[in-house]
Structure 1
Amino acid sequence: MNNQQKQLLMLLESTFNPQDDVHFLAIAETQVQAHDKERPVHQVRVALTFKEGDTINPYYDGTDLFITIGDNCIQFTSEEDWADGPPAIEGSPIELALGWVSELASPFFVSLHAKEAAERKGTTSA
């Protein structure tokens, strides 16, 4: 995981997991727009689920969101396109999360739980 990906993971953690009740399963990103050389737009695909203590929900939700990446700044963009609506995937079995995220790009983050679930079902594609 490179430095920008680490910063992106920290942004997602601080935004979506402030109470440590979210478990990120897999995350991928790809550049989709470069009209501004200094701050290109990237699409980020996130599969996540909820947890209670050590117990992880067997179903995941997934969504695509957009960020801009500058030299020292990663921030959300185009929130009107993704923030208010339902997730793209709702209540799908965890073993499918890695495959769905991989449809966008090779994931830079995959939790052990997601990898093991995909391997058990033979759906690993990354």
Structure 2
Amino acid sequence: MTNYNWGMIGTGWIAHEMADALNRENGSIYAVADVNADMLKKFAIEKHIAKTYTDPDALIADPNVDVIYIATPHTYHYPYIKKALNAGKHVLAEKAITVNAKQFDDVQQLAKHKGLILSEGLTLYHMPVYQQ
């Protein structure tokens, strides 16, 4: 199985859940970014993440990051998704993935054009009906 380096943007409560899930599944959280330096430092220490950025664009540009997880308020998702896809990164964004259908269509087409995975963090995929 391929091990991907994850970059996380945002350090709110849902990012804590994702970091714990990745750690349980032997995921590799390579770096984390947050514009709030205090929250970033606390999160990185708690989750044992060595590489930190106060500029999410710098995390997106890091060539060692394979997949970007976006856990910011949803109004910021669209620009980060676009930047990540244009940088050649796969993207998992929390819900709501974008604020409108036009934005979603735009990033969905971009991901398809680039041959990248774009997914929304929905718990629906883990419900019993999908396990069959």
How does the TM-score come out when normalised to structure 2? 0.28
Q: Which has the higher strand share?
A: 1
More RCO (CA 8 Å, sep 6+): 1
Which has the larger share of helix? Answer: 2
- Output the TM-score relative to the length of structure 1: 0.28
